[in-house]
Structure 1
């Protein structure tokens, strides 16, 4: 029954026989999500937009995916995990062609939910699942991660996501698709040969956001979060206020500027320390300990304290 059903499904939906190898490359040409594709057909909506995936053993075994909300990042992650599982169980797969190195494990960290029974927050659940992946995935695993670090503050989350990517690259060496809204992470591709930037395309047309659902090489231009919020029906006043706040934050706060300010602060602290040390050294050099009375010593201490306060 299983084989007959699989054969009928493959013929009806143009699935192909995958090539399973002993290598570690994961090459999917025009892959599709079988459930989403079927849903679109039933609803008489637009055809599903196929996308290719290339995870190579020697380079770019990690795809770092950026793009707007609703553009199709999670669908891309899920469809490749499903194709990998279908291939492993001996099924045909929804793609034009597929060459898949044998997979030992499939790990998934997608979605957000808490665990009230155990008293665990959404972020704690996310971190536990991520920890399980980092501690158990081997170099034949297939890993999909969606927006790691989003459940906490921006810089905490960005730091955690960066460190997780680095660990997957250097330690696990697992084939990974990592979706994120932290665009700063795309700079990692300059220093890590195994990381390749991909983006899900979208464009603005006459003030409207159009999702193209096509995965392309390179990093995304932006997240278009406010545009998506507008599509969701947030009040016009909220959208206008959000845009104004975003403009202000874009001008006043960015990661490189924060780093620059931190360096300036360290420089100022060093200069103050040098001045204080110079005052103490000058005072000690001029001091004649043999002729200094207790009263004079107190007066000298008060004078040094006053000079330090003035600095």
Structure 2
């Protein structure tokens, strides 16, 4: 997309992936299509199988919707920036992977069968994580509470003391009361003594005497109460006060143990994540092919490039939202083993030249990414590189004008493109003087044909170049058709053999909203310049010198003097004070004065 965002991009138009890993894999495939015919065929086989078996594709999609982002979780754990939810993501992802492997057990696609193999064999790690973690753990390890009950006796005790300290103390109080025979014995707490046993002075005598005095340690005597402690109560007090921190420390140790177990299996987990992304992408490309009526292309080692009924997926999507059909077009750059195959595409602005160029480049990319393509049929001989020089941009911060950027990009293409490259060039040389630009475009086209010997689509407004088709055996003229009706230009968006005779730039300027006076003036100048061009350069120069440059300026408005009698009568009228009848009479008087004046 021109804005740099996702909306309006190829990725947004074709992304049917379900998982985050599948979306990333699609982006990598589009940015780096394969040049390995075996790899491309393997990808196509997987997609074709899911196109033909829609029920299997739907079952896989249902499972994939439950798959978390294992790649990201594994990365965070490896960098020691992960948390319990990342462990849960690994657990849930591997569990879904096992279920997906069962669905693909009988797959005839070698690629999907390999993916299924990578999804198996994680039972031990899944069991460990399922037993150790609760169903929905918190985000951060420092929050605690993510280890399941029954995993660690010390943790369970610490949690019990932390959460049930009061009931534990009550139970101990009942035990001490039964042991001493003092029903009124209490265990209390204050900030000075902490937990202590309290009884009356009368009952204290029994506790101060053998054998109870060996167990109950005197701590304090008040006017009416005596306070004791025991070794068990002192230890319990420490445990209760520290139970929260102790439980958290134990959970952190368990988290680290689980993290290390995951990292020890990082290789197989990564393979499983990649397999899940592969399955997701194959299903997404199959769904796209079914929904958008795309075709499975033939990709081989030839130099063919033939497309029947090709379409631009992004433009087609935008037009569909408007209820407008996309006009499909054929493209045939195929030639023999020798020479180039170049189409010189002419036609007016807004007719669809740029769309035609881009859609064929996208078809090549999609074919070698391993999916179906937006066409009725396509045959793509392996493309080594796709080069594109389209649009206008400058780089003023580096002191490069729009034309300089254009030339730098064109130079890169001419210096790098080999005979298996696919090149699309749009409007080379338009940023400079007419004859300079035409010369550069002409020489560029000759170089692509004779030196690079590549397949190319070359769009231009320099109609003089169409004559090259008679001299260069690998060059063919094509044009985007239009019709004129009652002074209006109608774009048919059909690419046909032949050359355009004009550019219809003035009509497009009118469609863009230029003021009518500017459009009319431009039409007059165009006719004069074209006549001058036909009659020779000298006549044209004389004609330019004689152009009435300001003829199009509208005449200044003529000032109309108001008669004095009318002015005075108007000044005397008070509109708010007039009745309807008086207003009508005043209007008649003014008209009479104006006529008399």
Of 505, 512, 516, the residue aligned with 1:225 is 505
TM-score with structure 2 length normalisation?
0.42
Q: Kindly indicate whether residue 166 of structure 2 is the aligned counterpart of residue 166 of structure 1.
A: no
Q: Shift of the alpha carbon at 1:253?
A: 2.1
Q: Answer 1 or 2: higher relative contact order, Cα 8 Å, separation at least 6.
A: 1
Checking the alignment, whether the CA contact within 8 Å between 1:20 and 1:102 is kept in structure 2 is yes
Higher relative helix content: 2
Q: Tell me the equivalent position of 1:32.
A: 311
Q: Kindly indicate whether residue 293 of structure 2 is the aligned counterpart of residue 23 of structure 1.
A: no
Of 51, 64, 68, the residue aligned with 2:329 is 51
Of 474, 478, 488, the residue aligned with 1:208 is 488
Checking the alignment, whether the CA contact within 8 Å between 1:60 and 1:196 is kept in structure 2 is no
The alignment's C-alpha RMSD in Å is 1.6
Q: Shift of the alpha carbon at 1:43?
A: 2.2
Checking the alignment, whether the CA contact within 8 Å between 2:340 and 2:454 is kept in structure 1 is no
| Greater Rg over alpha carbons, structure | 2
d(CA) in 2 for partners of 1:160, 1:258: 21
Checking the alignment, whether the CA contact within 8 Å between 1:26 and 1:53 is kept in structure 2 is yes
Q: Shift of the alpha carbon at 1:221?
A: 2.2
Q: What are structure 1's unaligned runs of at least 5 residues? A: 262-311
Within 5 Å, give how 1:127-276 maps onto structure 2. 127-253=407-533, 257=536
Checking the alignment, whether the CA contact within 8 Å between 1:60 and 1:194 is kept in structure 2 is yes
d(CA) in 2 for partners of 1:60, 1:117: 38
Deviation string 1:18-50 (CA, Å, 9 cap, x unpaired) is 001211010000000011111111222x20000
d(CA) in 2 for partners of 1:258, 1:62: 32
Q: Tell me the equivalent position of 2:286.
A: 7
What SS does the corresponding residue of 2:344 show, helix, strand or coil? strand
d(CA) in 1 for partners of 2:357, 2:297: 18
Q: Shift of the alpha carbon at 1:60?
A: 6.7
d(CA) in 2 for partners of 1:185, 1:258: 19
Higher relative strand content: 1
Q: Shift of the alpha carbon at 1:257?
A: 4.3
Checking the alignment, whether the CA contact within 8 Å between 1:142 and 1:176 is kept in structure 2 is yes
d(CA) in 1 for partners of 2:522, 2:463: 19
d(CA) in 2 for partners of 1:42, 1:173: 40
What SS does the corresponding residue of 1:65 show, helix, strand or coil? strand
What SS does the corresponding residue of 2:428 show, helix, strand or coil? coil
Aligned residue pairs, count: 258
What SS does the corresponding residue of 2:503 show, helix, strand or coil? coil
What SS does the corresponding residue of 1:93 show, helix, strand or coil? coil
Deviation string 1:246-295 (CA, Å, 9 cap, x unpaired) is 111111125x9459x9xxxxxxxxxxxxxxxxxxxxxxxxxxxxxxxxxx
Q: Tell me the equivalent position of 1:82.
A: 362
Q: Shift of the alpha carbon at 1:242?
A: 0.8
Q: Kindly indicate whether residue 349 of structure 2 is the aligned counterpart of residue 69 of structure 1.
A: yes
d(CA) in 2 for partners of 1:223, 1:2: 43
Deviation string 1:225-247 (CA, Å, 9 cap, x unpaired) is 00111111111111111111111
d(CA) in 2 for partners of 1:212, 1:161: 26
Deviation string 1:103-136 (CA, Å, 9 cap, x unpaired) is 0000000000000221100000000000000000
Deviation string 1:140-177 (CA, Å, 9 cap, x unpaired) is 00000000000000000000000000000000011000
d(CA) in 2 for partners of 1:207, 1:253: 23
